[in-house]
A and B are shown apart, each in its own frame.
Chain A
Amino acid sequence: EPEVTQTPSHQVTQMGQEVILRCVPISNHLYFYWYRQILGQKVEFLVSFYNNEISEKSEIFDDQFSVERPDGSNFTLKIRSTKLEDSAMYFCASDRGNSNQPQHFGDGTRLSIL
């Protein structure tokens, strides 16, 4: 079964630096998502992306964050000027966009800000 893949599995970055988290969604999926899970808290929606633009974003997804689909396969999340509180597990997901199709999740990237 095709999977969503994320790289790296663990990223350690100094506070204030920029990070790019990478995702390869399932190839015939059209909608892409980022979620995050701060340790001990619930999984939170960040952003959804369709047809090369953001379709919805949460209040967490402020100017510090951006997403991009730089080529036909990758979907990236960029976090600028990272803060300690950005430390979390970041999950990428994708689906076909049909209302009766569930999202498929990647293994996540654990981001640790020092």
Chain B
Amino acid sequence: AQSVSQHNHHVILSEAASLELGCNYSYGGTVNLFWYVQYPGQHLQLLLKYFSGDPLVKGIKGFEAEFIKSKFSFNLRKPSVQWSDTAEYFCAVSGATNKLIFGTGTLLAVQP
């Protein structure tokens, strides 16, 4: 069955700390991978996506993610978080059809 696992449900960091959020997926065939962010009271926004090519993808606001096919992983990273990064982060996968399968999300709280 298709699924996405996010290991960290709630992460608390101080400003300037480095961030890595784990994401593993289970999906047969070619996959497209996404990270979406949901700031408080706002809609889901695309942070970055991987469709093909360079497995290290860079997104908005200094975020990046690395697709490691052998590990079925697509972890999100940011070298130095800011208070404004406080939000919920969702990893998602799609395949032959465009429907997105989401992980359970990670709540990130950045303390000033």
Contacts and interface: CB of A to CB of B under 8 A. Distances in A.
Contacts of B46: 102, 104
A54 to B, nearest CB: 12
A43 B99 contact: no
Interface string A64-78: 000000000000000
A103 B102 contact: no
A45 B42 contact: no
Interface stretch (A11-19, A79-87, A92-100): A92-100
Given A91-B44, A107-B42, A97 B98 contact: yes
Interface residues of B, number: 22
Given A48-B98, A100-B51, A43 B34 contact: no
A106 B45 CA distance: 9
A22 B46 CA distance: 22
Interface residues of A, number: 26
B111 interface: no
Contacts of B100: 33, 35, 43, 45, 93, 103
A99 B32 contact: yes
A43 B94 CA distance: 14
B44 A43 contact: yes
B102 A43 contact: yes
A107 B43 CA distance: 4
A93 B34 CA distance: 15
A48 B104 contact: no
Contacts of B98: 31, 33, 48, 95, 97, 99, 103
A52 interface: no
B34 A102 contact: yes
The winner among B52, B100, B105 for most chain A CB atoms within 10 A is B100
Interface of A: 4, 31, 33, 35, 41-45, 48, 55-56, 58, 91, 93, 95, 97, 99-100, 102-108
18 contacts: A4-B43, A33-B99, A41-B104, A42-B90, A43-B90, A43-B100, A43-B102, A43-B105, A45-B101, A93-B100, A99-B51, A100-B32, A102-B46, A105-B36, A105-B43, A105-B44, A105-B45, A107-B42
